[in-house]
Each structure stands twice: as C-alpha cells, then as structure tokens.
Amino acid sequence: MLSAHTSPLEQPGTGDAGGMNVYVLELSRRLAQRGVAVDVFTRATSRHLPPVLDAEPGIRVHHVAAGPFDGLTKNDLPAQLCSFVRDVMRVDVENGPGYFDLIHSHYWLSGQVGTVLRERWGVPLVHSMHTMAKVKNAALAEGDSPEPMGRVWGEEEIVRHADWLVANTDEERRELLELYGADPSRVDVVHPGVDLDVFSARDRAAARSRLGVGRETPLIVFAGRIQPLKAPDLVLKAAALLRQRHDIPAEVAVIGGASGSGLERPTELQDLARELGIAEGVRFVPTVDQARLADWYAAASVVCVPSYNESFGLVAIEAQACGTPVVAARVGGLTTAVADGVTGTLVDDHDPSQYAAALAPYLTDTGLRTTTGAKAVAHAELFSWEATADRMIACYEAAARWRHAKEAR
C-alpha cells in the first residue's frame, strides 16, 4: 500500500490528512482481518518516527526517509520520489524476490512510485486517484491555485501503466474514461465505507451536553480541512444569511485545521466571522478523534459539505450514520454519498443564499430532521468497510488475472 504524501496514522482534518488517510487505514484493517498482510509505505515527517511500525496485527507501516522531515508541501514532493522508490525497493531486496504480490497506490504521487515498482517487481499495480487534477482545475474555488501540469501528466502516465484503476463512484469512473482515456474494462467502482461501530445514531441531547451546546440551539457543523476547496467560508456566509433573512440564530462549529492554500491565510475564517457579525455564534474546533467527531455529528441539526470537488465525501456518510441530515454540493462523489431529498439536500452551485435556503428547514423543523435522520442512518449502512474490502479483493484478483493474461500473450 503506497501512501507517499500522507500517513494513514495521521489525525485527519489538518495538513494533508483527510479522507484518504481514513480510507487507507480502514481498508488495510479489513484486508488484514481477511488474512491479507499489508505493508504501508509513507514519507517520514519526523526523525522521531520509527522506520518500521507494526501498527496493528497484519499492518506494518514503513516511514520512508525522503527529503527533509518538515517544511515540504505536496508540490515539493515530486522531487523526492526517487529517494522514496529507492527505500521501498530496499525492503523487497531484504525480504527476497516475490515478497510482495500486489501494489495498491493512492493519489498520483504514490501512483508514480507504483509504476516504477510494478516494472521492477513484476506484480500488478492497482491505483486509486482519490482526486484528479483535471477535475479540480475545472471547478476551482475562488482564491485557490490550479493543479500543476506536472500532476496532469503524471496522472495520465498512471492511467496508461496501471493494471487496474479503482474509482470511488460511477461519476469518478466516468471522469477517468472521458478525461484520461482509461480502458473501461480495467476500471472498477468500489465505494469507500464508514466505521459503523464509531459512527452510529446516538442521543442528540446527550451529545450536546458533552460538547457544551445548548439543547435547542440550531447548529450547523462543518468538518474537514480548512482550505478553499472545502468552502468553509460558504457555511459562515450562509449562517449570516440565516440570521438576516430567515430570522434563524444558527450557530456554526467549524472542525478541522488549515491545509493547502488555507495555510497562507490561517485567520481568514475568524476574520470573516467578525466581518459578517456572527463571531459570537461560531466555534472553531481543532481536529478531534473519531469518537469526538461522532458526537459533533450527532449534536448537529445539519452537517454542511459545500466542497467544490469531492471524490466521495466521507464526512457526509459519517454524519448520516450518526442520524444527521446533510446539505452538500452537487459535485463528484457527494451525489452518491447523499440521497438528495431523502437523507439531505444537494445544492447546485456555491451561492450562499441557496445554501441558507437548503439549511433552514433542518434547523427549524424537528419532524423533518428526525425522519430525514432515520433515513440517513439506513442509507449509511449501505457503505461498510467490510463491503469495501471484499470488493477490493475482487479488484486485486482481476488485476492479477489481467496481468497474467497480458504476460502470456
């Protein structure tokens, strides 16, 4: 398992850690439970990390020294990939030929490493994009920077050389075919999952009590990395409109830390809340563990996911699993994660007034929130990590058969 730019052991919600971290760790866990040993390779970001860590039974994490431990952004990492490849190949040499049966790379940086290892080891390469440069550049948030052409070219190369591609949704599969010319016979759809033991329906009043939220407070929750792509500013603007136009004193909890271009303006959201006159009703919460995050989801009247692009949207599924409706952008994987009009509402553009109108019913109508929340729980139960792992193993087997047949020709 290649996760070069971010470790599955990092706390999601800040820096480069997010849904992909959860994905790699949860998938690895379920594979290990099925008897598939998983070695995860990720770049070391501290000299204090052990070179190899047995994270859980069946999961070994390798912290690869590739470039300085800190101070590097994702845009700096392509120059460190040669060092990364060298150290990963050393593990194979130490264990003897044929030690690894298959490579699963995540994100384009890991995919570049995977294409080299695939040829060196003669094993299948399965790749998950998670996000794609061409898709992101087509729907940039205001103030965000476009993905560089080097990434576009890198992704095109991965599509040509990977034995199998895994898309999170049918929409992502369509993008791989139309934008990257992927072979439709070698692209499968495997939905990410949700940990239903952690994210589950619970007593809203008790969750609010634990978090210090008023019992009757209309509460909107945003959870994710603080960067323009995720559009947390839109949530604040919608909350201001809810107060001004709808007479709804909505409060907002923004959970997460700065990431990407958001690092350049670390106080931008706090400044915006003051400008909008809602600072007293906005709580900025640092990243929290999953159990605490589940409490925030349960405490919310509604969770808002207004991203400009999401390959899936784990936040949306996690929130629904906790019995909370979701208002989200009608983009990417969110159209799969949220059942529009059933478990929440999808919004067509990034107009704060449209979000205010979509959020208002869930903040004021207890009956609607209750019935929608019950349907949300049932919907989320369709997305389990167990199902993800079973489907992924089928993809691995298909990739191995395809490569074997290709080599036999």
- Together in a domain, 220 and 126: no
301 contacts 310 by C-beta, under 8 angstroms: no
Give the whole-angstrom CA distance, residue 154 versus residue 39: 24
- Together in a domain, 247 and 179: no
11 among the known binding-site residues? yes
Q: H or E stretch including 405?
A: helix 385-408
19 among the known binding-site residues? yes
DSSP H helical ranges for 251-289: 268-276
370 among the known binding-site residues? no
> What is the residue-wise DSSP string for 92-105?
HHHH-TT----EEE
16 among the known binding-site residues? yes
Q: Among all chains, which residue has been given the structure tokens 């809810």? A: 242
225 among the known binding-site residues? yes
- Together in a domain, 212 and 110: no
DSSP conformational letter for 62: E
Query: Residue type for 153, please?
Result: W
5 among the known binding-site residues? yes
147 among the known binding-site residues? no
The backbone torsions φ and ψ at residue 195, rounded to the nearest 5 degrees and listed phi first, read -80, 100
User: How many distinct structural domains can be found in the chain?
Assistant: 2
Domain that includes residue 73, residue range: 19-193+385-408
Give the whole-angstrom CA distance, residue 152 versus residue 157: 9
- Flag whether 6 is in a domain: no
74 among the known binding-site residues? yes
**Could you give the angle at the alpha carbon of 230 between the alpha carbons of 226 and 236, nearest 5°?**
75
12 among the known binding-site residues? yes
71 among the known binding-site residues? no
201 among the known binding-site residues? no
- Together in a domain, 146 and 27: yes
Cβ neighbors of 399 (< 8 A, separation 6 or more) are 102, 124, 125, 126, 163, 164, 186
CATH (domain of 319)? 3.40.50.2000
315 contacts 19 by C-beta, under 8 angstroms: yes
180 among the known binding-site residues? no
Q: How far is CA 75 from the centre of its chain?
A: 19
pLDDT tens track of the chain, all 409 residues? Answer: 999 988 888 765 555 556 788 899 999 999 999 999 999 999 988 888 899 999 999 999 999 988 777 766 777 788 789 889 998 998 888 888 889 999 999 999 999 999 999 999 999 999 999 999 999 999 887 777 899 999 999 999 999 999 999 999 999 999 999 999 999 999 999 999 999 999 999 999 999 999 999 999 999 999 998 989 899 999 999 999 999 999 999 999 999 987 555 456 678 899 999 999 999 999 999 989 999 999 999 999 999 999 998 988 899 999 999 999 999 999 999 999 999 999 999 999 999 999 999 999 999 999 999 999 999 999 999 999 999 999 999 999 999 999 999 888 8
116 among the known binding-site residues? no
371 among the known binding-site residues? no
